[in-house]
Amino acid sequence: MAEAARHDAWRAGDSYDLYMGRWSRQIAPLFLDWLDPAEGLDWLEVGCGTGALSATILARCNPRSLVSLDPSEGFLAKARANVADERVAFVAGDAQALSVESGSKDMVVSALVLNFIPDKEKALAEMRRVARNGATVGFYVWDYPGGGVEFMRAFWTAAKALDPAAADLAEDRRFPFCTPDGLTDLAGKAGFVAVDCTKIEMPAVFRDFEDYWHPFTLGAGPAPGYCMSLAPEARQRLMERLRDSLPRGEDGSIPMKARAWAVGAKIAR
Ligand SMILES: C[S@@+](CC[C@H](N)C(=O)[O-])C[C@H]1O[C@@H](n2cnc3c(N)ncnc32)[C@H](O)[C@@H]1O
């Protein structure tokens, strides 16, 4: 595992849901509204995590079938518990070598995953392989380079001020391709056609500081993984720095935004 990726812990579904699942559940319908798929299609979801997008596809798109795939058994267990629907199969798998028949899917989607895959070009080639002629491929990633996930940006800003080595672990440095140009370029190189990229932005408001801080102490994801790797005194200093620097609403809430870039494209053979 690359050094900067050592905190990418994708195991505990409960912890993930508190840190990221709460926001990925909110962005999933915005993505599907933009993609505007027909009903009755065969779907594949790559990197389903705890099932945020899977549940939204089932609720809004009336799929004929949905295979939702992830390498993390812990996340899959949580997804199966979260989403009970006979149209979905949650299966173990790797985006870089999909255990899915070629040319068998009408919709191939992926939410907040591409940047975590070591060989993203291979993953996109696999998404293309399993898609039917005329299929739609869609994916989205957070706007890391633009600091679009404000709760992460605030975390890493504070972390870097206390520990300059944290700069190499922050997602803005690790995932510079997560821009409209970078993503459109990747999609074009993968042979996708009619490539479109859009911004999806939503509020991410924390009730109070505890609501903001607690998920970072659960260890699921790069920033929480880093947080829990710190010695208790260093973690305390980081917590205090954040507590004293975050914006506050009149009611003590912490108003932030989260922004993603979404790509939609077609497969033509
Ligand atoms: C930020 S989570 C997103 C999960 C979910 N799609 C969501 O929107 O909440 C990243 C996910 O990518 C998965 N992942 C990491 N490497 C992967 C790979 N090589 N193939 C497929 N999924 C992968 C992780 O297990 C994790 O579930």
User: Going by DSSP bridges, is the β-strand pair 65-70/88-92 parallel, antiparallel, or unpaired?
Assistant: parallel
pLDDT for res 8: 60
Burial string for 150-183 (b: 16+ CB within 10 Å, else e) reads bbbbbbbebbbeeeeebeebbbbebbebbbbebb
> How far is C-alpha 48 from the chain's CA centre?
9
Nearest residue by C-alpha to atom 17 in ligand 1: 117
CATH topology of domain 3-266: Rossmann fold (3.40.50)
pLDDT for res 1: 42
Alpha-carbon separation of residue 156 from 144, 153, 162 (angstroms): 11, 5, 10
pLDDT for res 7: 61
The alpha carbon of 222 and the centre of ligand 1 are apart by a number of angstroms equal to 12
> How far is C-alpha 89 from the chain's CA centre?
20
Which tokens belong to 22? 């709460």
Nearest residue by C-alpha to atom 14 in ligand 1: 47
Residue 48 Cα: closest atom of ligand 1: 6
Residue 110 Cα: closest atom of ligand 1: 6
Query: Which helix (H) or strand (E) covers residue 108, if one does?
Result: strand 105-111
pLDDT for res 10: 57
In contact, 185 and 195? CB cutoff 8 Å: no
In contact, 122 and 96? CB cutoff 8 Å: yes
Taking alpha carbons only, the member of 103, 98, 117 closest to residue 1 is 117
- Tens of pLDDT along 19-73? 999 999 999 999 999 999 999 999 999 999 999 999 999 999 999 999 999 999 9
Residue 75 Cα: closest atom of ligand 1: 27
The alpha carbon of 112 and the centre of ligand 1 are apart by a number of angstroms equal to 7
Report the alpha-carbon distance of residue 79 to residue 60 in Å, rounded.
17
Coil, strand or helix at 239: helix
Pocket of ligand 1 (CB under 6 A): 10, 20-21, 24, 46-49, 52-53, 70-72, 75, 94-96, 111-113, 116-117
Weakly modelled stretches of the chain, pLDDT under 70 = 1-4, 6-13
Would you give the end-to-end CA distance of the chain in angstroms? 35
Nearest residue by C-alpha to atom 23 in ligand 1: 47
